[in-house]
Structure 1
């Protein structure tokens, strides 16, 4: 009876998930070395987090009607909302509270913009 030497990466993977060796060997009995290689490649592949695509809520294409100055204003407000409001919005929403501390900064932004 000859013994099979498993790749070190497969051995490490089995130890991480705490699968008994005998059960793993039985499960892999009909698996080819190429299939094991593909499995290891898919498990160890670096995955980039997927970013949710932005929502196009401009149903009437109003953005196309804005002048360059109005677009600059729109972009300035959008940037402010992305930087200051987006990071805190969900936590306040979940607690059912309003972040009153954002009012002065938003008022300054509007005063500078208009």
Structure 2
């Protein structure tokens, strides 16, 4: 942990940008998954009315799009959550290093 603090202390601005980027990437993944799941539920509602079998994954519903980017299971959501948490941590450490540097 000390090596991370010293690395951030050397260039707090870069660390701040990195932290915000990681946070934003994780948040976009989570929001994308929420909206994708909502659209899949709506699609399955229409399919149920037409007496067709339900679709279980996004790849079944939209095979022409790269749906591997969207987290669908616990592992994908875990990775996105780790990105958010790491981004928040790095941003927090960079902000404190930046304040110390300004003094």
Please state which band the TM-score falls in when normalised by the shorter chain.
under 0.3
Q: Which has the larger radius of gyration?
A: 1
Give the structure, 1 or 2, with the largest relative contact order (CA under 8 Å, sep 6 or more): 2
Higher helix share: 2
TM-score (structure 2 length as normaliser)? 0.26
TM-score (structure 1 length as normaliser)? 0.24
